[in-house]
Structure 1
């Protein structure tokens, strides 16, 4: 089963997450099929907090990938901000 979830990156006390499409059985930071965006929870000022390639997101959702709970809430938040 394909899952769209966050993979941890960044450094100590500065988390940074990549939105990745992966098999649900893979480890959190393990191999992935594609990276479709990023999430920076500690963004300040002009820094971008969330970026998602909407075309690729739509494609992966159309082939059956399921977003994790956190990713679903981030996508809902970004859609609300864009409107």
Structure 2
């Protein structure tokens, strides 16, 4: 077993772990804003609050665009390394 441990770069492994965790949490938070915006937009529309419904809809759209941007960025990073 000690022979295998010599091939593992501990610093690169740790960097992979923490960046993966941060990226996963970040994507979850971004997508949570998408869900919040969509749900609250519907609620505001049902309560005849047009301005609030529009602002929440904008939040949902921005969250969706940010989610797509993160996925595209990840694909670009993976394919260029």
Instruction: Identify the structure with the greater strand proportion.
Output: 1
One fold, TM greater than 0.5?
no
**TM-score (norm: length of structure 2):** 0.22
Specify the structure having the higher radius of gyration (Cα): 2
Instruction: Identify the structure with the greater helix proportion.
Output: 2
